[in-house]
Structure formats: structure tokens, C-alpha cells
């Protein structure tokens, strides 16, 4: 069974790491080695992620709560994939740098259709999504605990490096699907965790002012 959703805001995708400016050198070394292990948030602020196309298997989504270091809670939808490939990935975060002002960090990867970004055990906490999405063998509205019996177990997130203390999986919406395909993805997120990212064709830029993916 397949269902298609156009410009959906709550059934959404997941994706990859947005580091702070101080981590730029370390990222370059890791990418040169071909893979990244990541568990990322950005000082309790949102960041933007877009993608031309996302293809993933072992999809699940459920409601949760992320808590900032300052103790401020945020309701989020956690989307997870066992495996995903991403074309035309863009990530951006705008930071306030001392003595400089607004500084934008942008990461682009996967522009070559034959060499997409690859991710395993991918989780992303978001509160807004726009995309054209197709789900295969989807199960919507299941009890949140039921997804632990399917393709993705929320408990696996700890192995990838869970973010957002106070995460809640009970008494919440949930859905799962064997496969998900999303085009024209635009999202705002609070945190991302994953086992491995392979960022083929990485291009990282740091520039003064505001420069975002969308």
C-alpha cells in the first residue's frame, strides 16, 4: 500500500549534522576519512535543512519533547530511518559571533546524483516540514510503543547519541512505513543524531551575515 502527501508539515524527513563554527576543522578531517558519527544540537536553537530528494527505508515517526540546557521544553516530531540516501543536501545555522555579529555556517553535499549523502540510524527532531512525500506500507496512528516492534526502535537512538533530555514516547502519535520517498524537502529542526553520515561532495562555508538554505 502506498500513500502520497503533498506539502506535508508533520510527516517529515530527517537528516544530518549542523556543527558550531568551532567544529569546522574537525569536520573537515572526519569527512576526509569518509564518514561522520554525529549527535548534534546548536545551543538550543533551530537550524534549517533542505534536500532535493530523500529516499529511506525503515521509517518511523513519533512525538517527543526536547529540552534545552536552560530547561526550556520544545514539542517536536522525531523522524527516523534505518538507512537513507539524500541528494542536494543543504544545512544552515546562523550564529551570533563575538565582535563579528551574525555568522552563517552552510554545509552542502550530495549534488552529484550518482554520489548522494548516505546515512544510517538517522534521527531528526523538527517542528516544521514541507515536502512532497510517498510512503509505502504505512501504518498511521499506532500506539507509540508499537513502533518498537517494527523497523525502528526508539531505544536505538541512545546508541546514536540521544539529544533532548526528557524525550517522551508514550501517549503520543506515531507512524511507520517500510519505505519513504520525499522531494523538495524544507524543514526546521532542533537536533539530529545518527550512527554514520557519509557526506559525498562536501562544501562547507562560513560567511558574515545571514545566508540560509531557504
What is the reported pTM? 0.74
Condensed to tens digits (0 to 9), the pLDDT of residues 15-62 reads 333 334 344 443 444 443 444 445 555 656 788 999 999 999 999 888
Q: Give the pLDDT of residue 46.
A: 85
DSSP bridge partners of 71: none
What confidence score (pLDDT) does residue 56 get?
95
Alpha carbons 116 and 133: distance in angstroms, whole number: 18
DSSP track, 14-48: -------GGGHHHHHHHHHTT-EEEEEEBTTB-EE
The mean pLDDT value for 188-214 works out to 88
Measured between alpha carbons, how far is 38 from 204 in angstroms, rounded to an integer? 16
Handedness of CA 34, 18, 185, 67 (dihedral sign): positive
Per the CB < 8 A criterion, the answer to whether 105 and 200 are in contact is: no
Q: At 160, is the pLDDT very low, low, confident or very high (cuts 50, 70, 90)?
A: very low
* Domain residue extents for the chain: 2-208
Asked if residue 132 has pLDDT above 90, the reply is: yes
- Band (pLDDT 50/70/90 cuts) for residue 90 is very high
Nearest CA to 58 among 173, 149, 188? 149
Better-predicted residue by pLDDT, 29 or 156? 156
Question: What is the per-residue pLDDT for 110?
Answer: 95
Q: DSSP state, 156?
A: G
Amino acid at each position: 500500500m502506498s500513500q502520497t502527501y503533498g506539502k506535508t508539515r508533520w510527516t517529515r524527513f530527517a537528516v544530518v549534522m549542523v556543527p558550531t563554527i568551532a567544529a569546522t576543522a574537525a569536520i573537515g578531517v572526519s569527512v576526509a576519512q569518509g564518514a561522520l558519527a554525529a549527535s548534534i544540537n546548536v545551543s538550543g536553537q533551530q537550524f534549517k535543512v533542505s534536500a532535493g530528494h530523500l529516499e529511506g527505508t525503515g521509517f518511523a515517526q513519533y512525538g517527543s519533547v526536547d529540552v534545552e540546557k536552560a530547561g526550556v521544553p520544545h514539542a517536536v516530531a522525531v523522524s527516523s530511518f534505518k538507512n537513507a540516501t539524500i541528494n542536494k543536501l543543504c544545512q544552515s545555522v546562523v550564529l551570533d559571533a563575538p565582535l563579528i555579529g551574525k555568522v552563517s555556517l552552510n554545509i552542502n553535499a550530495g549534488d552529484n546524483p550518482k554520489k548522494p549523502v548516505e546515512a544510517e540510524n538517522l534521527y531528526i527532531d523538527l517542528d516544521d516540514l514541507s515536502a512532497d512525500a510517498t510512503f509505502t506500507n504505512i501504518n498511521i496512528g499506532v500506539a507509540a510503543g508499537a513502533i518498537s516492534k517494527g523497523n525502528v526502535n526508539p531505544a536505538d537512538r541512545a546508541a546514536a547519541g540521544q539529544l533532548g533530555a526528557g524525550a517522551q514516547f508514550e501517549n503520543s502519535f506515531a507512524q511507520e512505513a517500510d519505505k519513504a520517498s520525499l522531494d523538495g524537502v524544507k524543514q526546521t529542526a532542533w537536533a539530529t543524531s545518527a550512527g554514520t553520515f557519509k557526506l559525498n561532495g562536501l562544501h562547507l562555508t562560513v560567511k558574515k551575515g545571514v545566508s540560509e538554505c531557504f
